[in-house]
Structure 1
Amino acid sequence: MARSKLHAVVRVATLVASIGAPGLAFAADLLPPPPPPPLPPPVDFAGGWYLRGDVGASIYTAPKYAVNDIPGTHFFGEAQSGGLFAGVGVGYQFNNFFRADVTGEYRTASLRLSSYNDFGSGCGCDPTGRNFNLTSGHYDAAVVLANGYFDLGTWYGITPFVGGGVGAAFNYFSGFTDSGVTNFYAPYVYNQPTSPGVFKSKTTESFAWALHAGLAYDVTPNFKVELAYRYLNLGHAQTGVLTCLDASAPACTTVLKAKNLEAHDIKLGVRYLIGSAFVPALPPLMPEPLVRKY
């Protein structure tokens, strides 16, 4: 009797196992899929705001100078000392190849001019008809430029670039003195066309433009150092009226004018990127189902 009950239990267990085994295998195939792999890091395309600062030295080419209210033709054999400048700016890096900024800077230099008047023959001044004088003074300027740059690729952290800019220059002539005419031919008598004196200071607003070329080095991803050359055209400037020491001199309405002021600059600059624009990678639309093959 006990043996028959045991056989009955075994047969029932076997039947249940045979019925449930396919269900268990099917359930195994329906296990939840593993979690998706982590997303790749965001892709930075070098966008963002940056701050910049620059210092440098300038060499000025000989601009065209003119003096009004002097008989004859007035010529300048110009000799200028170099100058210094410093500036700051803010800009935006749009992508790996283009950026733009707005800069403001202060410039200073000393000017020393030698000049002569050519009155032709019969002036009673010297055999060549020329009289000579010296003019010297200070040049200062505030310059605002809107600049654009093209970065030409990066190799070993070094990025060459070219660019250009347009803006305004506020040119300030001050402390200009006129030595008056010097006669290098003592036996000759001449009609002095200028009198020693001091030109009044004056600020002149003018259109300015620039061309840039240089190299940038990545100290860190956000901090860059630049070494660059810049051609800068500062437009025109002029002094106020000459205050003559001899008030009766005929040239006391003289104004010194400079056209096409040009500077060749060597700049050392830094840029600090204060923000970056990121393009995150898109997540997968849905995880792929887990399929097991037996």
Structure 2
Amino acid sequence: MRKSLIAVVAAWLGGTPALAADLYVEDPVDPAPVVVGGWYLRGHLGMSNQRLGSMEHELFDVVALHEFVDEGSFDSAPLAGVGIGYQFNEWLRMDGIVEYRGKADFSALDRYDGDGDGVFDNTNDYDGAKSEWLLMANAYVDIGDWYGVKPYVGAGIGASRNTISGFRDINVPMAGVAYADEDPTWNFAWALHAGVAYQATERLAIDFGYSYVDLGDAKTGNIRAYDGSVVNAPMHFEDITSHDFKLGMRYALQ
């Protein structure tokens, strides 16, 4: 009996170190911090939906009666842009872009009193197209992160090179046609942005965005009669704005 008790005690004492080792738990190690920041590349495709503030020409104030029947509008047009940016932290980033905005067809119609008798007796059908090169610096604020979904807002400033091409002025009652050459002009431009990005991988984000863009003004070259007999001043397109919708990608370089 005594030997059995001693054997049990010895076995228990001999197993204590192993049991103690089994119960030992190392202190938890803090996970490596997530590094946020660095350079990224971006690209996007989209559609512009542009608006015209007004068309202006010096002859509009000369005739006794003049009014627009159709004040003029642009069709939608494709756009594409590329750029490079820097992510400062989890909520602030900036980038610079170069964007080509494709030709948007334009049309307008006016009527006027051509002989001064107080009656509308002539019309002008205007058509052409407008395109731009847009250079812009932007800043964005990312608003939270919901399982990789990151809404954002932003703003940008830059310059837009606006070109009116293929401009024609057709006077049907008088069987007259006039045209104008291109005269691209640079304008101050600004934009407001909003959108949502999805973090598809550690480096790649898919971005669906909206931008309201103020592109400034544009103008044609001098307007010439089809036979060269009359040369008039350029047509001015003032306060051009656009509602843009874009799908893009951002790829982190580090």
Alpha-carbon distance in 1 for matches of 2:184, 2:228: 25
1:65 corresponds to which letter in structure 2?
M
Q: Could you list the runs of 4 or more consecutive aligned residues of structure 1 that deviate by over 3 angstroms after TM superposition?
A: 36-42, 73-76, 117-120, 246-249
SS at match of 1:212: strand
- Which of residues 124, 135, 139 in structure 1 aligns to 2:130? 139
Taking structure 1 as the reference length, what is the TM-score of the superposition? 0.70
User: What corresponds to 1:114 in structure 2?
Assistant: 108
Highest CA radius of gyration, 1 or 2?
Answer: 1
Q: How does 1:99-248 map to 2 (within 5 A)?
A: 99-119=93-113, 123-124=116-117, 127=119, 129=120, 131-180=122-171, 182-183=172-173, 195-248=176-229
Name whichever structure is richer in strand by fraction: 2
User: What corresponds to 2:46 in structure 1?
Assistant: 56
CA contact (8 A) 2:112 2:123 kept: no
CA contact (8 A) 1:236 1:258 kept: yes
SS at match of 2:229: coil
Residue 74 of structure 1: how far off its partner (Å): 5.7
CA contact (8 A) 2:81 2:99 kept: yes
User: What corresponds to 1:186 in structure 2?
Assistant: none
Alpha-carbon distance in 1 for matches of 2:86, 2:73: 39
User: What corresponds to 1:268 in structure 2?
Assistant: 247
Alpha-carbon distance in 2 for matches of 1:117, 1:254: 19
Taking structure 2 as the reference length, what is the TM-score of the superposition? 0.81
Q: From the superposition, tell whether residues 97 and 198 of structure 1 become closer, same or farther in structure 2 (CA, over 3 Å).
A: same
Q: How does 1:249-260 map to 2 (within 5 A)?
A: 249=230, 252-260=231-239
Residue 139 of structure 1: how far off its partner (Å): 1.2
- Which of residues 35, 39, 42 in structure 1 aligns to 2:32? 42
Residue 157 of structure 1: how far off its partner (Å): 1.1
CA contact (8 A) 1:66 1:74 kept: no
Alpha-carbon distance in 1 for matches of 2:117, 2:101: 43
**What are the superposed Cα offsets for residues 239-265 of structure 1, whole Å, 9 maximum, x if unpaired?**
00012114334xx21311111111110
> Which runs of 5 or more structure 1 residues have no equivalent in the other structure?
1-35, 184-191, 276-294
2:43 corresponds to which letter in structure 1?
G
1:56 corresponds to which letter in structure 2?
G
Alpha-carbon distance in 2 for matches of 1:79, 1:62: 6
Q: From the superposition, tell whether residues 74 and 170 of structure 1 become closer, same or farther in structure 2 (CA, over 3 Å).
A: farther
CA contact (8 A) 1:112 1:134 kept: no
RMSD: 2.3
> Which runs of 5 or more structure 2 residues have no equivalent in the other structure?
1-25
Identical positions, percent? 34
**What are the superposed Cα offsets for residues 43-71 of structure 1, whole Å, 9 maximum, x if unpaired?**
12411100000100011123311122352
